[in-house]
Chain A
Amino acid sequence: MPDVILRAEGLGYDGALALADLSVRAGEHIAVIGPNGAGKSTFLKLLAGLLTPSHGQVTLAGKPLKSFSRREIARQVAWLSQSDDVACEFLVSDYIALGRLPFQEMATPAEDKAAIRSAVKHCGVGSLITRVMGSLSGGERQRVMLARCLAQTPRILLLDEPTNHLDLAARSELLALLRTLPITILAVLHDLSLVPDFAARTVLLSDGHLTMDGLSQQVLFSTMFEETFRLKVHQITLDDGHASLLFRPETS
């Protein structure tokens, strides 16, 4: 499959993840879900090359990830942690410019500038660049962090709980922004109600095993999902015609 950009084959990491297989096509948006401790962050870090797998391998554009240097991976894969603990006095513009580090001594200043300008415009953070990181709200901070990732001009974006600590408005704003990005995105999402809006495909992890991989609707309404989360999913239709998901504990 020539359009497979990222593939995990029998991927494992000590006790945290076992034999995970996944093929990601270019441009796909995939949600990674699972209960706490299921191995979602470990899975994402293995795909980003931040952890070395104890079993199996990751291939990026058909080549083993370990054949790339760290900098070469960073030119193709951007990774957003749950929360960067960047110092409060750090200027937003300086922080976003860090995204150009993998291209140091490769890209011209004009290319760097263009990539940063495009990332800033995409994330709508133009009004924030003169501020310091400590003065931003949770939503603004997350958008700035995303802009740093986009300044890397990546082919693949890996997001570890990007909606963490965000209020409802900021969550939908961020997801709306992610939906517009024409790149491959894998995002760990804790808020399950956001999954159908964000991704057509969902990967379910449980106890370090990749237990299901399919269309989001199929995964969310599967028995495996109910057993994993002990939740029942109900689809309700709102007055405006939009469908929304309601999750209720199995016992109630």
Chain B
Amino acid sequence: MIQQISVCAAILMVVGLGILETVLGSASMSWGALNAGFWAGPHSHDIAARIIWSLRIPRFFLAFLTGATLAGAGALLQAATRNPLADPFLFGLSSGAATGAVAVIVLCGDLLGIWTAAVGASVGGLFATGALLLLIVFRRKKNLGVSTERVLLSGLAVSFFFSTLTNLLIFWGDRNTAQSVLFWTMGSFSGASWSALPIVGLGFLPVVLCGHTYRRELDALMAGEETAASLGINIQKLRLCVLALCAFGCAMTVALCGPIGFVGLIVPHLVRPVWGSSLKRNFMPAIVAGGMLTVMADILSRCVLPSQELPVGIVISAIGAAFLLVLLLRR
């Protein structure tokens, strides 16, 4: 019963947030103008229609899909590593993607148009995945143990390494590029446009497909590695698939919005009390909740300061920090 109520509430909230995301912004508009602009359609020359259809609606989709991708990736990584602290950031996937994107922006400029950062980010994200896997394989070969804690520490090492590279690239880049890259690294949905949506969609798709395809295998893995193996699961292959697909998904979001932390970490924890631990039940709710969280954070980022937009990464980090504090004080 509680789950049916949650579904209805989620649908209403997504619609409500969509309306709020469209209504609120730096350009204040009356309800009448908004209503007229919305019904005028995307091809109208009316200023309100252009703001709504060219900026705010794509921004809503961008924010929602970004949050959904990050939350889905977080849920998958937490299951694959059997570690509730796993998240695209802690594994260095987002940092690698950020390094790739920054490297392309600083070194090559606008080579492939809107896809430039996406290509750089996906290469960077996959490099980070490769680095993480190399560390794990090295530890396994040397019999140093590959417990989830060690994997997490390896991820942190990869994350710090790529963050250092990003900072070095910003430091070496020219002043204007460095400034724009610095703003980008704080996370923002200001680059939203209809043409950008296929990029984030391209990242969202593998994460959803991965969750849909492997949710039962990942559930078995959560019951223990030996139990999963006894159920016929190839654990190494499963983890490699999940890591690679999540890295690609996160890279696409990083390319468009910059690295946005905490979503992948906190959202799976938010949905578990209602939907349980099984990915079969909580994966789709995590996707929706992740989307809602980033849309809410985006609305906040545009309303919290008068006539100025705060980078959404800062708002989400603040929410994430508060969440972790509450978690620490309660458990």
Q: Which residues of A contact B (CB under 8 A)?
A: 45, 48, 50, 69-75, 77-79, 81, 84-91, 94-95, 98-99, 101-102, 104, 132, 152
Return B213 CB to nearest CB of chain A, in Å.
11
Given known contacts A70-B232, A70-B233, A98-B220, is B227 in contact with A84 (CB within 8 Å)? yes
B280 close to A94 (CB less than 8 A): yes
Q: Which residues of B contact A79 (CB under 8 A)?
A: 226-227, 230
The chain B residue sitting closest to A79, CB to CB, is: B230
Contact status A88-B277, CB under 8 Å = yes
Contacts of A85 in B (CB 8 A): 223-224
Check B309 for interface membership: any CB of A closer than 8 A: no
Q: Counting CB contacts under 8 A, is B26 at the interface?
A: no
Q: Which residue from chain B places its CB closest to the CB of A95 in the assembled complex? A: B223
A-B contact pairs, 14 of them (CB 8 A): A45-B226, A70-B232, A71-B232, A74-B230, A81-B230, A84-B227, A87-B277, A90-B219, A90-B222, A90-B276, A91-B281, A101-B217, A102-B231, A152-B231
The interface bits of chain B over 214-255 (1 if a CB of A lies within 8 angstroms of the residue's CB, else 0) are: 001101101110110111111000000000000000000000
**CA distance in complex: A90, B276 (Å):** 6
Pick the most buried of A71, A77, A98: most chain B CB atoms within 10 A of its CB: A98
- Smallest beta-carbon distance A91→chain B, Å: 5
Q: Contact partner of A101 among B224, B232, B277, CB < 8 A? A: B232
Contacting residues, chain B, for A75 (C-beta < 8 A):
232
Q: Which of B248-298 contact A (CB under 8 A)?
A: 272-273, 276-278, 280-281
Q: In the complex, how many angstroms separate the beta carbon of A238 from the nearest chain B beta carbon?
A: 38
Q: Residues of B contacting A90 with CB < 8 Å?
A: 219, 222-223, 276-278
Point out the residues of chain A lying under 8 angstroms from B234, CB to CB: 70
Q: Check B232–A50 contact: CB distance below 8 A.
A: no
Kindly report which residue of chain B lies nearest to residue A77, judged by CB atoms. B230
Say whether, besides A87-B277, A89-B272, A90-B276, A99 and B231 are in contact (CB < 8 Å): yes
Question: B residues within 8 A CB of A69?
Answer: 232
The answer for the CA separation of A44 and B231 in the assembled complex, in Å, is: 15
- Additional 15 contacts, C-beta under 8 A, given A78-B230, A90-B223, A102-B231: A45-B226, A69-B232, A70-B232, A70-B234, A74-B230, A74-B231, A87-B222, A87-B277, A94-B219, A94-B276, A98-B216, A98-B220, A99-B231, A101-B220, A101-B232
Chain B interface residue number, banded: 20 to 34
* Most chain B Cβ neighbours within 10 Å, of A71, A89, A102: A89
B219 cross-chain contacts in A, Cβ below 8 A? 90, 94, 98
For the complex, give the distance between the alpha carbons of A77 and B226 in Å.
13
CA of A50 to CA of B223, assembled, Å = 15
* B250 nearest CB across to chain A (Å): 24
> Across chains A and B, which 5 residue pairs bring their CB atoms closest together, nearest first?
A74-B232, A71-B232, A87-B277, A79-B230, A89-B277
Q: Which listed residue (A81, A89, A101, A132) contacts B233, Cβ 8 A?
A: A101
Partner of A91, one of B223, B233, B276: B276
Q: With a CB–CB cut-off of 8 A, which chain A residues contact B223?
A: 84-86, 90, 95, 98
- Taken together as a complex, chains A and B put the C-alpha atoms of A141 and B193 apart, in Å, by 52
- List chain A residues, Cβ under 8 A from B273: 89
Are B278 and A73 neighbours in the complex by a CB distance under 8 Å?
Answer: no
Within the assembled complex, what's the spacing in Å between the Cα atoms of A75 and B231? 8
**Is there an interface contact between A50 and B281, defined as CB atoms closer than 8 Å?**
no
| CB-CB under 8 A for A81 and B276, given A74-B232, A94-B219, A101-B217 | no
Alpha-carbon distance between A87 and B227 when the two chains are bound, in angstroms: 13
Min CB–CB distance A112 → chain B (angstroms): 11
Asked if A86 contacts B233 (CB within 8 A), the reply is: no
Closest to B217 in A: A101
Nearest Cβ in chain B — how far from A149, in angstroms? 9
Which among B276, B277, B281 has the greatest number of chain A C-beta atoms within 10 A? Answer: B277
Q: A90 to B282, alpha carbons, bound, how many Å?
A: 11
CB <8 Å contact, A81 and B216: no
Contacts of B272 in A (CB 8 A): 89
Residues of B within 8 A of A50 (CB): 226, 229-230
Tell me how far the C-beta of B321 lies from the nearest C-beta in chain A, rounded to whole angstroms: 24
Is B220 within 8 A of A81, CB to CB? Answer: no
Q: How far is the CA of A33 from the CA of B32 in the complex (A)?
A: 81
The complex places the Cα of A246 from the Cα of B222 at a distance, in Å, of: 40
Cα–Cα, bound, A87→B269 (Å): 12
